[in-house]
């Protein structure tokens, strides 16, 4: 069984205690949870994923163009193609569902 990088990140994210993550990560000086050498709190993929999830929770069945527009407004510097590429990955991972006939995106 293969585990995608995204699935591994989710597993690790779920394993980190939400109330005291610094205990688990105290040895990672200069890196955040996702290995960002700048020490930022999230990388761009995580920001895109979180934005997509937020939009789909608030607006299930949203159209693709509107979803991309909302994610682009939340994540500076991201273009529409990046959002759709990321949606394709989430679709392959079984995280989202796309109704092609109605142009509707949903969380699974």
pLDDT tens per residue across all 108 residues of the chain: 677 777 766 776 666 655 555 554 454 444 444 444 554 445 888 889 999 999 999 999 999 999 999 999 999 888 999 999 989 989 988 889 999 999 999 988
Residues 75, 47 share a domain: yes
Residues 57, 6 share a domain: no
DSSP type of residue 41: S
Q: What is the pLDDT at residue 84?
A: 92
Structural domains of the chain, count: 2
Q: The domain containing residue 9 runs over which residues?
A: 1-41
Residues 25, 4 share a domain: yes
User: Phi/psi at 106 (nearest 5 deg)?
Assistant: -140, 150
Q: What is the pLDDT at residue 68?
A: 94
For residue 92, the domain's CATH number is 1.10.10.10
* Cα distances (angstroms) measured from residue 25 to each of 8, 35, 72, 91, 95: 16, 11, 30, 30, 27
Residues 47, 36 share a domain: no
Residues 62, 100 share a domain: yes
Where do we find the tokens 């105290």? 26
């Amino acid at each position: 069984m293969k585990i995608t990088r995204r699935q591994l990140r989710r597993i690790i994210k779920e394993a980190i205690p939400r109330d005291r993550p610094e205990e688990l990560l105290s040895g990672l000086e200069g890196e955040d949870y996702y290995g960002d050498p700048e020490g930022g709190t999230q990388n761009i993929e995580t920001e895109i994923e979180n934005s997509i999830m937020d939009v789909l929770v608030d607006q299930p069945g949203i159209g693709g163009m509107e979803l991309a527009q909302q994610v682009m407004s939340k994540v500076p510097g991201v273009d529409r193609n990046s959002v759709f590429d990321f949606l394709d990955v989430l679709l392959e991972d079984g995280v989202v569902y796309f109704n092609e006939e109605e142009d509707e995106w949903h969380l699974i």
